[in-house]
Amino acid sequence: MAIVKEKKQKTENKESLDSSNPPQVGVNREAFLNLLQAIKVAVTPKDEIDQSSCFVFQNGLVAGFDEEKLCRAKSGLGKDFLCVVRAKPILQLLDRLPDEKIILSLTDGELLVSGLNGRKSGLVVEREVRLLLSQTEDPGKDDWRNLPANFSEAIKLAAECTGSDDPKFWLTCVHVHPKYVEACDNKRILRYTVDLEGVINGEFLIRSSAAEAIHDLGMEKVCETQNWVHFQNRNEVVLSCRRWLDEFRDLGPVLESAKGGRTIELPDGLGEAAKRAAIFANEIGVKGKPKIMIRLQDGDGKSNNKNLLVRGEGPLGWLEEPFSVTYTGPTLAFMATPTLLSEIGRRSNAVDVANNKLYVRSDNYEYVALLSVPEQKPCQREPENVSKIKSSGPANEEEE
C-alpha cells in the first residue's frame, strides 16, 4: 500500500535521530490515517503494559501490541523513522486536519506534522522502544494459506457468544477447529461450519478481542507458528494472535439436546427491531457486550396476540417492540447481542424450543440459547442491569 514518497536521508546510525538532519516524509493524510486505524486494533486506551497505548515506528514498520495480539504493517516512512507516539492524539489530529498531504518529520522529542498555510503540530514522542514486540514469532513468507470466504463471518458471530473476564478461560475464547468455529459463554452457543482442513494445522483458541479484529481487518490469509497464529489482509496488514491450546469443552451434546423441539415461526422485521433496540442496549454501563432481551409468552394459540417482545434497555432509555407468533406454553426469555439477533432474523425463518433451550439452524451455523423465566416484567427498568435472567448456562450441563 503506497502512501508516501520518501525523501532520501543519509544517517550514520539508523537507530538514532540527528536533529540537524531529521527524517522528513510527505504522506497522504487520509491513507496514513487509515493505516493507523487498522493498527489500532492492537492498541489499548491506556497503558495496560508499557507503551501499549502507542504506535511504534521502527525498521520501516508501524506496530501496536497489547500482549494478546500484535498488529503491524509497512509504514512507508523508511527504516530511519524511529519513534513511539501515543495513539489517541495522532489519530484525532489526522482526522481533523483538512490537508490532503502532510509532512512528517522527527526532531528530539517531537513528531512534527506540517500542513498547508504554515499549519504545524508537534506530538511528544519517545525514542526508546520498550514495548516487547519481540515476544511474537515472525510468519514465514511462503507459509501463508488462503482462508475460506466465510471464515470472517464465522469468527465474528462466534465472538458474539464469548464471555468477558470469566474465570473459566475457555469461555472467553473462540475455538477454531478444522471443521468449524465455535464459542460459548455458558448461556449461548454458536457453532459455524467452515472448512479449514489443510488450512490450519490443528485446533486452537484465540481470545474474543482477537477474533473481532480478524473480522474487522478483513483477513484473507493465515499462517501458524509455535505460539502464535498470524493473519494477513490484502493491504498486507499482519495481525498476530496468541495461539492457545487449552482444552475447550465438547459442545456437541448440548447442541444435540436442543434439537427436535416445537417449531416457532419467526416474524418478519425481527432483525430490524434488534437494530433499533440496540440504540439503548449499546448504552449499558457494564463491562461486556450489550444484550437485547427477547421475551416469549403464551399466545393462547392465536396469531395476533403480540406475545413476542424485543427489548433493549440502558441508563439512557429503552425501546421495546412486540410481535405476534404462534406459541402456547410458559413465559420464556433469552438474551442476545444485537449483531447476533439481527443475523438470526435475517437468516432464519423459525426456531425450535426444547428442554429449556432455543435452537436455531441456518445454512452455516447452529445457535443455542438457554431459556428461562425472567425475574421481572420487561416494563420495569433497572439501570445498569437490564432484565436479569436466571440461568445456569447450557455448558453447565456437563460442568462439575
Each residue's pLDDT tens digit, 49-59: 899 999 999 99
What gap in Å lies between CA 147 and CA 11, rounded to an integer? 42
What gap in Å lies between CA 359 and CA 260, rounded to an integer? 9
Of all residues in the chain, the percent with pLDDT exceeding 70 is 84
> What's the pLDDT at 318?
93
For residue 185, which of 288, 264, 114 has the smallest C-alpha distance?
288
Measure CA of the first residue to CA of the last residue in the chain; give whole Å: 52
Bridge-based pairing state of the strands 317-323 and 4-6: unpaired
Burial class (CB in 10 A: 0-12, 13-18, 19+), 335: buried
Residue 327 makes CB contacts below 8 A (sequence gap 6+) with 262, 264, 296, 297, 298, 299, 307, 308
What sign has the CA pseudo-torsion 235, 241, 247, 250?
negative
> What's the pLDDT at 32?
97
Q: HSE-up of 253 (CA within 13 Å, CB side)?
A: 8
> What's the pLDDT at 59?
93
DSSP letters, 98-145, are: --SEEEEEEETTEEEEE-STT-EEEEEEESS--S-GGGSPPPPTT--E
Neighbours of 116 (CB within 10 A): 11
What is the four-CA torsion angle of 294, 300, 304, 306, rounded to 10 degrees? -30
Residue 252 makes CB contacts below 8 A (sequence gap 6+) with none
Residues spanned by CATH 3.10.150.10 within the chain? 4-135, 145-249, 254-398
81-123 tens-digit pLDDT: 999 999 999 999 999 999 999 999 998 889 999 998 889 999 9
For residue 86, which of 46, 53, 119, 45 has the smallest C-alpha distance?
53
Neighbours of 84 (CB within 10 A): 20
What gap in Å lies between CA 55 and CA 90, rounded to an integer? 9
Q: For 70-146, where are the alpha helices, taking DSSP H only?
A: 87-96
255-302 tens-digit pLDDT: 998 988 889 898 888 889 988 998 888 654 445 677 888 999 887 655
What is the four-CA torsion angle of 151, 154, 156, 161, rounded to 10 degrees? -150
What gap in Å lies between CA 62 and CA 325, rounded to an integer? 53
Q: Does domain 4-135 have CATH number 3.40.630.30?
A: no
Among 43-47, 125-129, 286-290, 392-396, where is mean pLDDT lowest? Answer: 392-396
Average pLDDT for the chain:
84
Q: Are 144 and 232 in contact (CB under 8 A)?
A: yes
> What's the pLDDT at 341?
87
Q: Where does residue 38 fall: left (phi above 0), alpha (psi -120 to 50 degrees), or beta otherwise?
A: alpha
Burial class (CB in 10 A: 0-12, 13-18, 19+), 240: buried
Q: Are 235 and 75 in contact (CB under 8 A)?
A: no
Distances, alpha carbon 51 to alpha carbons 40, 69, 208, in Å: 13, 14, 22
pLDDT surpassing 60 at residue 127: yes
C-alpha cell at 326: 404462534
> What's the pLDDT at 400?
37
Mean pLDDT (whole number) for 328-343: 87
C-alpha cell at 2: 503506497
CATH number of 254-398: 3.10.150.10
Mean pLDDT (whole number) for 149-166: 90
Strand partners, 74: 61
> What's the pLDDT at 233?
96
Mean pLDDT (whole number) for 69-75: 96
C-alpha cell at 317: 432509555
CATH of the structural domain 145-249, one choice from 3.50.50.60, 3.40.50.620, 3.10.150.10, 2.40.128.110? 3.10.150.10
